[in-house]
């Protein structure tokens, strides 16, 4: 069991053992969820790789060759 003191600003330092168990690091967020038996603290972080593909590109994709060709045309004009 771990404990922590609440500061005058209502802040609590999460003990290292609990941070390690939750897998949270500085800058991560945690969620405090009320339950019938008390409060549950959960990590609320998302692995960046889980977001891969969530956003779809808008418009036409442009290749490096397309960009080079556009530069060549612009220089000739």
pLDDT digits (tens, 9 = 90+) for 7-59: 999 999 999 999 999 989 898 889 999 999 999 999 887 677 777 777 877 88
Sign of the four-CA dihedral 33, 35, 40, 42 = negative
Q: How confident is the model at residue 69, as a pLDDT?
A: 92
What pLDDT, on the 0 to 100 scale, is given for residue 66?
92
* pTM for this model (two decimals): 0.53
Number of H helices and E strands in the chain, helices first, is 2, 2
pLDDT, position 56: 79
Residue with tokens 């500061």: 7
pLDDT at 10: 96
Domains of the chain, earliest start first = 1-46 (2.10.260.10)
Cα dihedral across residues 17, 22, 28, 30: positive or negative: negative
Using DSSP's 3-state secondary structure scheme, residue 41 falls into strand
């Amino acid at each position: 069991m771990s404990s922590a003191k609440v500061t005058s600003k209502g802040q609590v330092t999460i003990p290292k053992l609990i941070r390690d168990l939750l897998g949270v690091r500085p800058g991560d967020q945690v969620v405090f969820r009320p339950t019938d038996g008390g409060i549950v603290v959960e990590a609320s972080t998302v692995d960046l790789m889980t977001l891969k593909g969530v956003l779809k590109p808008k418009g036409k994709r442009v290749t490096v060759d397309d960009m080079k060709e556009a530069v060549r045309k612009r220089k000739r004009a």
